[in-house]
């Protein structure tokens, strides 16, 4: 899967590490409603295509998962500042479809 790495020069490897670190930091630094989104822009950094057949749970199970995720934030980051804004779709960063998505 990662055979391309053995073909890269040191300079290419360093550039790749910097690119990936930048993307990881952007994801890590997400805040507010951006924490809850599908992240194809992050997955698109991998050389293999993003599978188009990603499974999505039915609404009740999905919402239970959202609640568990939020509860874990409460436990793990109890001092995190609170984001009081309601969700506004016009403010959400939409990510264009990635060219390496498998149809």
**pLDDT (tens digit, 9 = 90+) per residue, 6-26?**
999 999 999 999 999 999 999
| pTM exceeding 0.75 | no
Q: How many domains does the chain have?
A: 1
Q: Express each pLDDT in 24-48 by its tens digit.
A: 999 889 888 888 778 888 989 999 9
Q: Are 98 and 41 in contact (CB under 8 A)?
A: yes
Structural domain contains residue 100:
no
In the 8-state DSSP scheme, what is residue 54?
-
Structural domain contains residue 87:
yes
* Full residue range of the structural domain in which residue 38 is found: 3-91
Residue from 33, 44, 54 nearest 95 by CA? 44
Structural domain contains residue 17:
yes
Structural domain contains residue 86:
yes
């Amino acid at each position: 899967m990662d055979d391309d790495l053995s073909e890269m020069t040191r300079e290419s490897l360093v550039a790749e590490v910097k690119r990936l670190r930048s993307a990881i930091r952007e994801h890590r630094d997400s805040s507010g409603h951006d924490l809850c989104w599908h992240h194809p822009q992050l997955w698109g950094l991998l050389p293999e295509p993003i599978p188009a057949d990603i499974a999505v749970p039915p609404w009740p199970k999905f919402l239970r998962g959202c609640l568990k995720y939020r509860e874990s934030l409460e436990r793990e980051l109890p001092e995190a500042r609170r984001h009081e804004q309601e969700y506004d779709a016009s403010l959400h960063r939409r990510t264009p479809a990635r060219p390496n998505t498998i149809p």
